[in-house]
Amino acid sequence: MGSLLTYIGLILISSILGLVAFYILLSLIPFLERKENLSQKKELLNEAQKQRKVLLKKYEERTGETIKLLEEELEEDLIQNEQDTNIAELELDKREEFAEREEERVSQKESQSLKTQEEIETKALDTQEKKLQWQETVQQAQKKLSATAKLSIEEVTEKIVNSYVDDKKLELQKTQRFLAEELNSSARKNAKRMLDSALCHYQPEFYWPKSTNLIEINDEKTIHELNQPNINLLEPLEEYTGVSIKFNPSEDSPSKGIIRFGGGFGVSKESARLTLNEAIKTPNIKWKKLQALYDKNFRNLEQEAVLLGKKAVEQLKLSDIHPEIQKLVGSLNWRTSYRQNQWYHTVEVATLAGILAVEMGVDENDAKRAGLLHDIGKAIDYRIDGSHAVISCDYADRFGEKRYICDAVLSHHSDLIVEHPLSYVLCAADTLSGGRPGARVNLEEGYQIRLGAIYDCINSFKGISDVAIMNGGREVHIQVHYRQVKEKDLKDLAQSIVKKIEENVAYPGQIKIVLSRKFESTAVA
């Protein structure tokens, strides 16, 4: 029991002592924390002092470098400003010297001007005196001339003035003639250069096909059928196609003959030729059924004409060409002029026109369009009266072509005189294509007959001194005698010659008549 109490007492005493110790420890914790905080603060303060010293040192170093750089820049600026100031001072000195020189020069000019003015005034007085003296001399001379020639002073004055005016007119005419010759010479040189350049750029690779307008027959039976009296088996086809179809038996052999085709639409003529050529090869010709065969050939050729028109447009790299125009261009493949295929001629003219346009500074596409359109009238001139150039212009205008292109087309055979570079380009290209060696063929006999008829018509008029037929009979230059034909009668004479040629000569296309009357007076100084 006693030990238990002792044990309990010890436990109580231990607990009390533990509590006391715990209380003492609790009271010491803030003190210990404050002490630890003070030591940390001292350490932080020391560290901050160290960093402050380091930063101050770095700042001092950087500030020193910046100040040094600023001092160097300032010194450079001062040196540059000093140099600029010196240059400005030199420039100012130069300007001051120049101003002084100008002032001196102006002063000299003023003095010289005053001196010149005085001289002018003096000379004006002298001139006035001389003018009065000259007038007196003229009056005296006029009186003497009037007395000698027994004319009034007004008449003498008029004669002198007229003589002076005539001399000046003569000098002016000489100058004009000289300038015209120089311009013509220069123009000819430039034209030759341009044509040479165009021909060097153009080398056609195609061949020129030769069309045929006849069929040779070697079958006696067929010849017998065609040669029956009072029966024309070809007449129905001729009326249906609008093409002239004539049978000519051979005089040398009864088993040979020729069918000739002429006039009409080119596609119709070729269709009729193909129809008869195909029919003649069959054993039994059915003459009454030729129209159906003709219609088939005509449709095929019409389609081919459309394709040829598109081919021409694509080859020339043109756009917005009306389909009807393309069809007319394609149908020129079966139209010839002096045996020249007109489709190839049209494409060639358009190509050459484009090349010449580039040389002359004209729009290339406009020149090509004019070249493509210039002969479309030949495809339908069998049913429309007038020049093919007029027909071509009318159709081009009808299908939306520009007015100046239509005018160029109209002018390429002088149906309209247009002073435009495009017109000259088209005329030159057309002449190059038609005049190229081998392009056209004239039948010698018919050609000579036509030329002879033209000569006879012209020489039947009085006053003709010389005749020159050019361009295959398309152009005639006539020189008249200046004493027998007056200038006022030239127009009437030209119209009379044209009328007589139209009445007495058969010719394709047109003939241009150029009438000239020349009078020259030569004097040697």
Domain co-membership, 358 together with 418 = yes
15 inside domain = no
**Secondary structure of residue 290 in the 3-state scheme:** helix
How many distinct structural domains can be found in the chain? Answer: 4
Domain co-membership, 111 together with 161 = no
19 inside domain = no
125 inside domain = yes
* Inter-residue contact 346 to 374 (CB < 8 Å): yes
Domain co-membership, 407 together with 301 = yes
Residues with Cβ within 8 Å of residue 131, at least 6 apart in sequence:
none
Q: What phi and psi values does residue 273 have, to the nearest 5 degrees? A: -65, -45
Write out the two tokens for 78. 């001062």
Domain boundary, last residue among 435, 465, 493: 435
* Inter-residue contact 458 to 475 (CB < 8 Å): no
Predicted confidence at residue 100, as pLDDT, reads 86
In the numeric block, the tokens 């003589």 are attached to 163
Domain co-membership, 188 together with 301 = no
Predicted confidence at residue 125, as pLDDT, reads 87
31 inside domain = no
Domain boundary, last residue among 381, 403, 435: 435
Which amino acid, 441?
V
Domain co-membership, 124 together with 247 = no
* Inter-residue contact 38 to 44 (CB < 8 Å): no
Length of the chain, in residues: 525
Domain co-membership, 167 together with 240 = no
**Secondary structure of residue 416 in the 3-state scheme:** coil
Q: Cα–Cα distance between 260 and 212 in angstroms, integer?
A: 9
Q: Cα–Cα distance between 121 and 356 in angstroms, integer?
A: 63
244 inside domain = yes
495 inside domain = yes
| Element housing 514 (H / E) | strand 512-517
Predicted confidence at residue 508, as pLDDT, reads 65
Q: Which stretches of 281-413 are assigned E, i.e. beta strand?
A: 336-337, 340-341
Q: Cα–Cα distance between 348 and 202 in angstroms, integer?
A: 9
| pTM of the predicted structure, to 2 decimals | 0.55
Write out the two tokens for 237. 């086809």
Q: What phi and psi values does residue 465 have, to the nearest 5 degrees? A: -105, -30
Domain boundary, last residue among 382, 405, 435: 435
* Inter-residue contact 466 to 484 (CB < 8 Å): no
Domain co-membership, 336 together with 401 = yes
Q: What phi and psi values does residue 228 have, to the nearest 5 degrees? A: -70, 140
Determine the structural domain holding residue 136 and report its residue range.
52-144
388 inside domain = yes
Residues of the chain with pLDDT under 50: none
58 inside domain = yes
pLDDT digits 0-9 by tens, 250-272? 777 777 888 888 888 888 888 88
Predicted confidence at residue 194, as pLDDT, reads 77
Domain co-membership, 305 together with 388 = yes
Domain co-membership, 416 together with 470 = no
Domain co-membership, 218 together with 353 = yes
Q: Cα–Cα distance between 500 and 208 in angstroms, integer?
A: 36
Predicted confidence at residue 414, as pLDDT, reads 73
pLDDT digits 0-9 by tens, 338-377? 778 889 899 999 999 999 898 888 899 999 999 999 999 9
Domain co-membership, 220 together with 115 = no
Domain co-membership, 241 together with 295 = yes
